[in-house]
Amino acid sequence: MSRERLYLFDTTLRDGAQTNGVDFTLADKVAIAAMLDDLGIDYVEGGYPGANATDTELFAQSRPHKGKFTAFGMTRRPGRSASNDPGIAALIEAKADAICFVAKSWDYHVKVALETTLDENLASIRDTVKAAKAAGREVLIDCEHFFDGYKANPQFALSCAKAAYEEGARWVVLCDTNGGTLPHEVEKIVGEVVKVIPGDHVGIHAHNDTEQAVANSLAAVRAGARHIQGTLNGLGERCGNANLVSIIPTLKLKKEYADKFDIGISDEALKSLGKVSRALDERLNRPSFRYAPYVGENAFATKAGIHASAIMKEPETYEHVSPDLVGNKRKVLVSDQAGKSNVLAELDRIGLKVDKDDRRIGRLLEIVKEREALGYAYEAADASFELLARRTLGTVPNYFDVSQFDVNVEQRDNALGQRVTVTMAVVKVKIGDESMISAAEGNGPVNALDQALRKDLGKYQDFIKGLKLTDFRVRILNGGTEAVTRVLIESEDESGEHWTTIGVSPNIIDASFQALMDSIIYKLVKSGAPA
């Protein structure tokens, strides 16, 4: 059966740049455009030449690209000719394969925002498409507020879309600009539009103000649209746009779409989607969303014991698609929601071979549940779980003992009369028969303790020299006088491996000490340090 082509249009660099807190540099834009090209996106909208210096510069020179590099702007201003509109001139000068014009299609907006007549708006659409076509550009028209406009005055909204199509716009894109339209409304209205404009010229641009932008995009496709606009990670004005990182795997992997459509994304590129999504977050200097469908860290993480037990038998029992298809990994977590199957799966990942009927598995699970009741959270502390498992199975050497530590925080005036806070830690360590004392200053009590602890570990010093603490997170549990502190420490070593350890105590220094000790011992175990 031959499949229809469905086109993807990315507007991360234009609508995504309208996200509160996002501010792309030219270098960001060039790098993200290249990433989208490698993924196989058909249209990459780079920005709005003439609106700001970055976008003007981006379109000032041709850059190598595979997809259609697209410039964005508005239709000619009311009362001007297209040839006398500096905005149109900037778009035609832009080094782009295609131009996407935003046009009004809601009568209310024409009157209130444009302050012109409905006829002048239609003339503006026609003149603009003609001018860009005459300059040899592929033309797309984003019909702004199309769905609200259609509900208010269907005849006028349709006449805007038809004007663009009749003048030769390749795509007439129906925009849910305010993001308030629901999927059944999108499906119905797009169904009406494709009766007058062929579906292979109709697109959808959905905003996420009711969390339905992805559903609305798919509803439009069901009704006949063949072009989807969206962004990476759902960036975009207000609550964002349709998230292409969710739409792409759905189109590739869900039978209703996969059987019917081809998109420009290969099976191999699909596996890189998580990397692309994280690369964008890195550029934006923000953590990746762990709950992101398909690509998030939690997308294939199973916590419940009943689920883990079935997943161990057949992964399909609790997975809607296989994680490998989207370059993700299955994770079975150990926590107070776990059963023996979770523990066995995690031991297998760690590389500890234990018989499934071994009584120590049940004991380990009991310990995990007892400790989680005290405030530990092993699903977030992989290295502490591994040590707990190895200790329960009897395989962690007793490398060293800390027989005493002392942390002192002092605030005083220095010789210049300035108020300073000085923190100092002293640690007494016993390694075999040898005892040693180390002292260190730090910029806080935990830092001083860490410095002192790792200053001299005798014969183990070489094993820990690449160890670095990269994150320290504290959470107070229960609150009030019963409060306990949970500390999570993230560490990294010279090989780039990351791990997380945990400590829990009513005292923050104690909790931090437990997490620090676990981190060091984990590193020694991992490095194969001798007892």
Ligand X SMILES: CC(=O)SCCNC(=O)CCNC(=O)[C@H](O)C(C)(C)COP(=O)(O)OP(=O)(O)OC[C@H]1O[C@@H](n2cnc3c(N)ncnc32)[C@H](O)[C@@H]1OP(=O)(O)O
Residue type, 238: R
Distances (CA, A) of 90 to 48, 84, 136, 398: 9, 11, 15, 71
Near ligand CC(=O)C(=O)O in 165-224, by CB under 6 A? 175, 177, 205, 207
The secondary structure element, H or E, covering residue 408 is strand 401-413
Choose the contact partner of 205 out of ligand X, ligand CC(=O)C(=O)O, none; CB within 5 to 8 A by kind. ligand CC(=O)C(=O)O
Comparing CB distances to ligand CC(=O)C(=O)O, the nearer of 33 and 102 is: 102
Closest CA to 237 of 48, 23, 18: 18
Comparing CB distances to ligand CC(=O)C(=O)O, the nearer of 68 and 454 is: 68
Closest distance between ligand CC(=O)C(=O)O and the C-beta of residue 20, in Å?
15
How far is Cα of residue 223 from the mean position of the Cα atoms in its chain?
A: 29
What is the length of the chain? Answer: 531
Provide the phi-psi class of 285: left if phi over 0, else alpha when psi is between -120 and 50, else beta: left
Closest distance between ligand X and the C-beta of residue 102, in Å?
5
Choose the contact partner of 408 out of ligand CC(=O)C(=O)O, ligand X, none; CB within 5 to 8 A by kind. none
Provide the phi-psi class of 211: left if phi over 0, else alpha when psi is between -120 and 50, else beta: left
Choose the contact partner of 74 out of ligand X, ligand CC(=O)C(=O)O, none; CB within 5 to 8 A by kind. ligand X
Near ligand X in 15-74, by CB under 6 A? 15, 18, 48, 51-52, 74
Closest distance between ligand CC(=O)C(=O)O and the C-beta of residue 149, in Å?
11
Q: Which two tokens stand for residue 60?
A: 């000032």
Comparing CB distances to ligand CC(=O)C(=O)O, the nearer of 182 and 354 is: 182
Comparing CB distances to ligand CC(=O)C(=O)O, the nearer of 73 and 249 is: 73
Q: 3-state DSSP call for residue 369?
A: helix
Position with the least CB separation from ligand CC(=O)C(=O)O? 175
Q: How far apart are CA 244 and CA 265, in angstroms?
A: 11
Choose the contact partner of 476 out of ligand X, ligand CC(=O)C(=O)O, none; CB within 5 to 8 A by kind. none
List the x/- string, 94-133, binding to ligand CC(=O)C(=O)O by CB under 6 A. Answer: --------x-------------------------------
Closest distance between ligand X and the C-beta of residue 76, in Å?
6
Cβ proximity of 139 and 133 under 8 Å: yes
For residue 355, the 8-state DSSP code is -
Q: Phi and psi at residue 297, in whole multiples of 5°?
A: -60, -30
Q: Phi and psi at residue 267, in whole multiples of 5°?
A: -60, -35
Q: Does 12 bind ligand X (CB under 6 A)?
A: no
Choose the contact partner of 368 out of ligand X, ligand CC(=O)C(=O)O, none; CB within 5 to 8 A by kind. none
Q: How far apart are CA 112 and CA 44, in angstroms?
A: 31
- Residues that bind ligand CC(=O)C(=O)O (rule: CB under 6 A) add up to a total of 8
Collect all residues with Cβ–Cβ distance below 8 Å to 355 and sequence separation of at least 6: none
Residue found by looking up tokens 């005055």 in the block: 153
Collect all residues with Cβ–Cβ distance below 8 Å to 98 and sequence separation of at least 6: 43, 68, 69, 70, 71, 137, 138, 139, 140, 170
Residue type, 463: F
List the x/- string, 199-238, binding to ligand X by CB under 6 A. Answer: --------------------------------------x-
Residue from 144, 386, 490, 518 binding ligand CC(=O)C(=O)O (CB under 6 A): 144
For residue 110, the 8-state DSSP code is I
Applying CB under 6 A, the residues found at the interface with ligand CC(=O)C(=O)O are: 15, 102, 142, 144, 175, 177, 205, 207
Applying CB under 6 A, the residues found at the interface with ligand X are: 15, 18, 48, 51-52, 74-75, 77, 102-104, 113-114, 144, 177, 237
